[in-house]
Amino acid sequence: MVRKTTPPQDLIRGIWKENPVLVQMLGLCPALAVTNTVKNALAMSAATFFVICCSSVLVSSCKSFIPKEVRISSYILVIATFVTLADMMLQAYAPVQHKELGAFIALIVVNCMILGRQEAFSARNTVFRSLLDAVGTGIGFTIALIMMGGFREILGTGSFLDIPLFGPGFEPWVVMVLPAGGFLTLGFILLAMGYAEQRRKAGESA
């Protein structure tokens, strides 16, 4: 069954309404682990964006050759190949970021968001629409990561992209750049979204 959506909807859906991190709770591991600074969040999003777009294009163009029984394993292989590429490229062009992110680049393979898009969308749609879907999901992932990275860097170190924002009197909230800060930031973002949703519903029924 092909869902009836227009190409623009494929693109926009992943960005906000079905945001992979904030709504579907997929790909939480990188979203929490590498968002202690905006720079790391950007590098991670770029790598993930590359992997999801390439895998979606390849999977959707090969969908008629892949036997149904081994499709998941084939998707994982496709993803693993592009992750290896991304890993090498980052090592060559941005060695500092590569060192900071470390093993988490390799862990893009097990990002359930990417596998989820292949299984749910690319496996049964045209190349063009799969690309749109992947771009949308990638942008949604980027937005979520930058949001978290921004909150954590601004509060945790008092700067944004290494530019100091507050005067010398600012006492950084060290906890925000520590692992606990990741959980708390995402928790509060979700609470705020829940609150907004509740307000919207109340407004509709009133």
Partner 1 sequence: MSDQTLFSIFFSAMIVNNFTLAMFLGLCPFMGVSARVETALRMGLANIFVLVLTSLSAWVLNTYILGEAPYLRIISFIIVVASLVQIVEMVVKKIAPVLFRQLGIFLPLMTTNCAIFGLAIFQTNRGYDFLQGIVFAIGAGLGLTLALVLMASIRESSELSDIPAIAKGTGLTLIIAGSLSLAFMGFAGVL
Under the rule (CB under 8 A), what is the footprint of partner 1?
A: 25, 28-29, 32-33, 73, 76-77, 80-81, 83-84, 87-88, 102-103, 106-107, 109-112, 115, 175, 178-184, 186-188, 190-191, 194-195, 197-198
Residue 161 or 192 with smaller CB distance to partner 1: 192
Centre a 10 Å sphere on the Cβ of residue 104 and count the other Cβ atoms it contains. Answer: 17
CB of 91 to partner 1, least distance (A): 10
CB of 121 to partner 1, least distance (A): 17
CB of 168 to partner 1, least distance (A): 27
DSSP string, 34-78: STTSHHHHHHHHHHHHHHHHHHHHHHHHSTTTS-GGGHHHHHHHH
What element of type H or E holds 159? strand 159-160
CB of 186 to partner 1, least distance (A): 5
**Which residues contact residue 136 at a Cβ distance below 8 angstroms, ignoring those fewer than 6 apart?**
10, 11, 12, 13, 14, 15
Residue 61 or 198 with smaller CB distance to partner 1: 198
